[in-house]
Amino acid sequence: MTDATAPRRAQRSPGRVLGVVLAAGAGTRYGKPKILADDGRWLERAVATLRDGGCAEVTVAMGAAVVEPPAGAEALVVEDWADGVGATVSAALRWALARSDAAGLAVHVVDTPDSGPEITARLLDAVAGERAGLARAVFDGRPGHPVYLGADHFGPALRVVGGDVGAQVYLRSRAVTPVECGDLAAGEDIDEQP
């Protein structure tokens, strides 16, 4: 990778961009919690995607399985993870809200192992740490992860998520900037073991 294409660990103004990996689910269709997939390498890759792509602080939202987070990340144990993805997203938003210097939050999932930091860097470049920004990585036009929520959206999104309702309902009701990343990865969620 050349200096021109290397992901940047930039601090965004007027605050820091945080990152969260959603990894609390039981992975029923996969056969085990995906946080454990490939001996933890999916989790390591997801954390690196955010950390090395420009997020100043990264946490891993976990629940069905609680593990030591990879270097450069902290653990956020979601006690009500079994209530659905909305419980995990809600916990992540509350975590971000507690950091008053947060400009935004990059939300990633553990089950897209072909993602890399260049995707996060491109996403963050598109929003430049805007507190009012909303953007998501798309892969050949198909919505994927990570998703960027500016800090102005933390509270309003928190009022919508819960149970089986994640951030998708909130995102569908807003203008979200698509950031094409199909040249960098397939971005497909893996729901079943090969």
pLDDT digits (tens, 9 = 90+) for 40-72: 999 999 999 999 999 999 999 999 999 999 999
pLDDT band at 109 (very low <50, low <70, confident <90, very high): very high
pLDDT band at 13 (very low <50, low <70, confident <90, very high): very low
Residue 95: inside a domain, yes or no?
Answer: yes
Residue 153: inside a domain, yes or no?
Answer: yes
Domain span at residue 54?
17-180
Residue 146: inside a domain, yes or no?
Answer: yes
CA atoms within 13 A on the CB side of 99: 21
Residue 2: inside a domain, yes or no?
Answer: no
How many domains are contained in the chain?
1
CB 113 within 8 A of CB 45: yes
Summarize the confidence of residues 100-120 as an average pLDDT. 96
Residue 43: inside a domain, yes or no?
Answer: yes
Residue 70: inside a domain, yes or no?
Answer: yes
CB 104 within 8 A of CB 131: yes
DSSP labels for 91-160?
A: HHHHHHHT-TTEEEEEEEETT-TT--HHHHHHHHHHHTT-TT-EEEEEETTEEEEEEEEEGGGHHHHHTT
What is the C-alpha separation between 69 and 54, in angstroms, rounded?
A: 18
- pLDDT of 6 reads 43
CATH number at 72 reads 3.90.550.10
Residue 149: inside a domain, yes or no?
Answer: yes
